[in-house]
Structure 1
Amino acid sequence: VLLATGGNGRMFRITSNAHSLTGDGMALAYRHGIPLQDMEFYQFHPTGLYGLGILLSEAARGEGGYLLNKDGERFMSRYAPTLMELAPRDMVSRAIYLEVKAGLGAGPLGDYVLLDVRHLGRAVIEEKLPDITDFARVYLGVEPLTEPVPTQPTAHYAMGGVPTDLQARVIRDERNTVVEGLYAAGEVACVSVHGANRLGTNSLVDLLVFGRRAGRAMAAYCAATTMPEVAGDAEAPVRAEIEALRDRPDGESPVELRADLATLMMDNVGVFRTEPMMQAAVAGVAEIKERYGRIRVRDTGKVYNTDLLEARELGYLIDNAEAMATSALARTESRGAHSRDDFPERDDAGWLKHTLAYRGEAGPTLRYKPVTVTRFEPKPRTY
């Protein structure tokens, strides 16, 4: 079996992820005793369309686009004076957060910054940045040729996920014990090629390299083994869960509950984190999980029931959220995409290790395993 279900960005209010990315594969593994690894490391892309999260890629900044605060200042000069707008995604996202927090955000609510490409000229904008400019025109009614584009950080990519080895085989513990016959590749998996912070385009490694390795390993495994026995009622627990959703006469709205979860995670386990924020997230997710046991769906049909599908996806998101919030709260340092105001420095002596979050009745249990350091040792980032 190969898990290739993608990421879990839909647990956040503002995200670049497709509506289908609800952490299904991660939650299925988690529910069957497999830990989720390094869930605290989640990348926020600095330039998403304001209010929507649709990605405006690095191409705009690569061509020379500026990021401006409400005063028209290129504020990245105060955060990364060498690389400016081309600093790593997490640094730019944090800079935007700090500008907004300092009252320098643009717009009526002061909650975004501006991506300015006007100085690049029509030829560059139309020929090299067609997708970016079309998004701005279609979704925000903004003309990039004559006005800057409102942007804000958007939840983009999970560095954590189902732990695997280099052959894409799922592993279940800190001893790297392999789960026979189970594989994972893509964003659902955590091979940890990205460590705590992915570089742009390196998701292709997850997809192409480990997708290929998974396919080859699965073919070899199938050729060398026999079909295992499958219980005749293997589907019974899932069927019971689905029927309970269909048959419940009244209860909470999954739509409202999902919105509550997305706001909770965006506000408390986002670009910047503190202990009180993450404690609120852990408690809030636990409350939402309890409320989830009382939800009902309006559409009780058995054919193409998207209401039922989204209700079940909400359960997956809740599992992902509790693992992420708990793992983030426990890591008392800042590393890669995990940035804490109350612990701003990296702590290699105490925290150069992977987090393994196991599902439990009273919430996740955390265990750890060491990071394998080969050629490149961790070093401070200076830009």
Structure 2
Amino acid sequence: MGTKGKVIKCKAAIAWEASKPLSIEEVEVAPPKAHEVRIQIIATALCHSDAHIIHPQYKGAFFPVILGHEAAGIVESVGPGVTNIKPGDKVIPLYMPQCGKCKFCLSPRTNFCGKLKHFKSPVGDQKLMEDKTSRFTCKGKPIYHFMGTSTFSQYTVVSDINLVKIDDDANLERVCLLGCAFSTGYGAVINSAKVTPGSTCAIFGLGGIGLSVVIGCKAAGASRIIVIDIKSEKFAKAKAVGATDCLNPRELDKPIQEVILEMTDGGVDFAFECVGGAEIMRAALDSVTAGWGLCTIIGVDVGDNGLNVSAAELLMGRTLNGTSFGGWKGIDSVPKLAVDYKNKKFDLDALVSHTLPFDKINEAFDLMYQGKSIRTVLLF
């Protein structure tokens, strides 16, 4: 392409400070350096993790920053040393890197990578490239990257270990959801919890991740899939992808966990918390059976003080675990998930509630804040 080795000027959405709408600006995107790839983003979706950093209670925020981590695009150019990607390839950026060399990448027990510096949260990590500099400039100022991806920009630069090639015929407007929502929820069931055929499951929260958990539970052969949300209008979609029972806590006369215990003779085999917050985590853990019940934490709530768990609860055979990116090693697994979608093994269309032009990104955030969207896909 004629842009190789040159600075590209394009539009991006910049968060200049907390609690403010994103600003559509012209940015300069530098060429990729060694082991980096510059991508033209075609489709990017919104996730609550994108909103965390601009929340006034988020600790460790950094500005100005280009957010976004759930996307798909086409490679514009590659830097020296890049061997697994070439210009013209369709790709999905990955906020969970896979270097393939560290003790985490070499272990089948996790999808973490040693390139993640802090192991506290991917949201606050990977805000600069490997050489501690940014590839974005706006109004003469360097702009921070976000989660190693920064997909709220028409062009972005990522490390070659934060990127995976997918088939040339992939539908980028749908497989962009493999960058976070679907992979996280579906993988939580398949990889992290390992839901068994005939089991009972409870899913707290019916956003993009929660619905992906429902799809995973159905695929795993669960016999009863109970979904919980405070917005009853989400239940029709949940039933369409596999839910068997729908509960709105605001319509019940007792705590949700008590209702679930009564419905399931003492608790479900598996519970998935997809919202965040101590109260919901508590309800999810209380919903699993003694003896073998497993509660998997997926959601994160800004400013949450955490969950208090007594030793007695765990001594009675309940297990509490968590998962990031559904346990998938992205470079190994995401191309296979893209093929599975193409072969209609699961339906990503069910997760997309809105499709908007990129310029309407703040409208998309409003839909998310109001609970009116599942996933909004933005197109450049």
Question: TM-score range, shorter-chain basis?
Answer: under 0.3
TM-score by length of 1: 0.25
More helix by share: 1
More strand by share: 2
TM-score by length of 2: 0.25
Q: Which structure has the higher relative contact order (CA within 8 Å, separation 6+)?
A: 1
Give 1 or 2 for the bigger CA radius of gyration. Answer: 1
